Structure 1
Amino acid sequence: MQDRSLEALGYAGVPAREPLIYPGRLVGRPSFLNGDELLDLRPSGAPLGDWPVALPAGASERPQRATVDGLLTLLGVPPAQERFPVLAVGSNAAPGQVRHKLARLGSSGALPMVPVRVRGISVGLSGHISPAGYVAAAPYADPDAESPLVATWLDAAQLNAVDSTELPNYGRAFLPGDAFPVTLPSGRRLPGAYLYYNARGILAHPDGTPRAGGAQPAVLAQLLSESPRLRELFGHGPESWTGRAGADAELRARGTAAFEAEGWLRREDGFARYAVRADRP
């Protein structure tokens, strides 16, 4: 039987445990995450719940081909039409991180993860330092942009679990499809999707242009090279940054304050008008 485990496929990395691998390996094709395994989806013009799932030959108690809804039903979790499409930015698009996050919070690890094209959104750097010590990716509104993101379909319990990891540093917005078109690999567009946006803002250059993301070691090295404040707090390299920041919440707060003191923090208001309350979808 073909091994579809995250470990065998190279998706097992968890940035929450290894911050310098942030954002981790992102899902690159339409997939169904089922805890420790990642299965291929076959996009079609039909609704997501009817997309075929390719199951490993010889998988016990499961047909070799099934649909998204068929597999979700077999697993005893809500079908696609009862789920919430959430655009994943950064490590929330990495199966290893998603598995870790949901398992730690006691939530089901079964969900579709599908690469999509999104208009009106670009991705920069978060205006705060995460508990693991990395500087995460964060979206910002950009009318001229079209970005590759990953749509995840979360059930209500999963959505509440992810909320608990993102808030209050992030807000959650529902972006209407006419303002932020989201196109599936099949060519169909979603009527809308949720997005977590940074409540503090994003990091910008002195001229106000957003800073680009990238490999975490390069991101941290660049920030350190430009800021004596950050070097005083975190040392002179990415390893010392993540080691110190990941171990000390007060130090992370001081580092986050240093972003603003350097004049790097740019408020992001493009999504706030679409914000939803954290206690409801």
Structure 2
Amino acid sequence: MDDATDRTLRALGLHEAPREHPLLYPGAWPSDSGLLDGDRFLPLERLVYEDRTPVVAIGSNGCPGQLRHKMTECGIGSPLPMAKARVTGVDAGVSAHVSRMGYVSASPVGAPDTVRELFVLWLDAEQLAVIDASEGVPLPGGNFDRAWLPSPDVRIDLADGTRLPGAYAYVNRHGVLHDGTGTPRTHPGERELLAELLVGLPRLRELFGVVPEEFCARARGDRRLCERGTRLFIEEKLVTASGLERYVAASARAQQSGSPGTGASLSPPLT
């Protein structure tokens, strides 16, 4: 098997997209940094790209198969660097909405003492527009806002010793689900999450069925049903704040004021 074949997403087990297979959410993540180049995941020559916008991937945006699906759908084929990072201050919570993709997605939550290995996506302007659109950022009724998470509130350390001054993340406009005590719950993977929610919420079973497979099949593409599921989370008093809302407001103020480095496709300079 030649090197080009070795580096295909399929050969690396990174090819499947949760958009096509909801129960696989958040999808397979790479073991290390790399360059998503079409159907291949290549070694990354450097970890910092000052001419691109850094976005921390919390859920399926860390899955090359999902990223390829989003980019291909919009006709974007440019290479996309993914840098593995040690991130302190955020965790993967559970979005308080049902996605029309057929799953309940992950959402960042503030977690000052939590350290996670996540990926920083270095996006050019076209790639950023695609990811923004996929998260509903430009739409008044969209599910996410893109917010700048600054250091030292959130520490992002790359393998080469670089500490980023911050990065963007997609913060859920609906809030996140809590664990019963008011603390945001963490996303355990789609099958386990849906099984727990369906067991604990009879009204959710009435809408989406009794097993995760039924949930995904019924939710997929059914806007009204997904909206009903999202309202049910509120009615069952399962929703809390992510703890990151202040960064959404700060990012909006910065963009309105035209502050350098805080525009829609710009980021503060590295220091």
1:170 aligns with 2:140: no
1:14 aligns with 2:14: no
Contact 1:34 1:110 in 2 (8 A): yes
Seq. identity, %: 41
1:275 aligned partner:
251
Contact 1:118 1:183 in 2 (8 A): yes
CA–CA distance in structure 2, aligned partners of residues 275 and 183 of structure 1: 22
1:103 aligned partner:
72
Question: In the TM superposition, what whole-angstrom CA distance separates every residue of 1:102-138 from its partner, at most 9, and x where no partner exists?
Answer: 1101223411111111111111111111111101111
How many residues matched? 247
CA–CA distance in structure 2, aligned partners of residues 144 and 269 of structure 1: 13
CA–CA distance in structure 2, aligned partners of residues 207 and 184 of structure 1: 34
The equivalent position to 1:150 in structure 2, one of 109, 112, 119, is 119
Quote the offset at 1:148 in angstroms.
Answer: 1.6
1:184 aligns with 2:153: no
Q: Amino acid of the residue matched to residue 155 of structure 1? A: D
1:232 aligns with 2:206: yes
Instruction: Return closer, same or farther for 1:258/1:109 CA change in 2, 3 Å cut-off.
Output: farther
Q: Which ranges of structure 2 fall in alignment gaps of 5 or more residues?
A: 137-141, 257-262, 266-271
CA–CA distance in structure 1, aligned partners of residues 41 and 112 of structure 2: 34
CA–CA distance in structure 2, aligned partners of residues 99 and 109 of structure 1: 10
1:253 aligns with 2:221: no
Higher deviation after alignment, 28-37 or 209-218: 209-218
Contact 1:27 1:113 in 2 (8 A): no
TM-score normalised according to structure 1 size: 0.84
Contact 1:83 1:156 in 2 (8 A): yes
Question: In the TM superposition, what whole-angstrom CA distance separates every residue of 1:88-107 from its partner, at most 9, and x where no partner exists?
Answer: 11100000000000110122
1:153 is paired with a residue of what secondary structure? strand
Question: In the TM superposition, what whole-angstrom CA distance separates every residue of 1:183-214 from its partner, at most 9, and x where no partner exists?
Answer: 00112111221111111111012211222212
Contact 2:184 2:242 in 1 (8 A): no
2:107 aligned partner:
138
CA–CA distance in structure 2, aligned partners of residues 232 and 242 of structure 1: 14
Contact 2:56 2:121 in 1 (8 A): yes
Q: Which ranges of structure 1 fall in alignment gaps of 5 or more residues?
A: 50-79
1:70 aligned partner:
none
2:87 is paired with a residue of what secondary structure? strand
CA–CA distance in structure 1, aligned partners of residues 91 and 12 of structure 2: 28
Quote the offset at 1:140 in angstroms.
Answer: 0.7
Contact 2:91 2:186 in 1 (8 A): no
Contact 2:26 2:59 in 1 (8 A): yes
Instruction: Return closer, same or farther for 1:187/1:148 CA change in 2, 3 Å cut-off.
Output: same
The equivalent position to 2:96 in structure 1, one of 104, 112, 127, is 127
Quote the offset at 1:178 in angstroms.
Answer: 2.2
CA–CA distance in structure 2, aligned partners of residues 246 and 29 of structure 1: 31
1:106 is paired with a residue of what secondary structure? coil
CA–CA distance in structure 1, aligned partners of residues 81 and 264 of structure 2: 21
Instruction: Return closer, same or farther for 1:175/1:158 CA change in 2, 3 Å cut-off.
Output: same
Larger radius of gyration: 1
1:84 aligned partner:
53
Higher deviation after alignment, 268-277 or 226-235: 268-277
Contact 1:19 1:132 in 2 (8 A): yes
TM-score normalised according to structure 2 size: 0.87
Q: Amino acid of the residue matched to residue 223 of structure 1? A: L
CA–CA distance in structure 1, aligned partners of residues 158 and 186 of structure 2: 25
CA–CA distance in structure 2, aligned partners of residues 155 and 247 of structure 1: 29
CA–CA distance in structure 2, aligned partners of residues 194 and 119 of structure 1: 14
1:220 aligns with 2:194: yes
Q: Amino acid of the residue matched to residue 42 of structure 2? A: L
2:174 is paired with a residue of what secondary structure? coil
Instruction: Return closer, same or farther for 1:115/1:274 CA change in 2, 3 Å cut-off.
Output: farther
2:117 is paired with a residue of what secondary structure? strand
1:72 aligned partner:
none
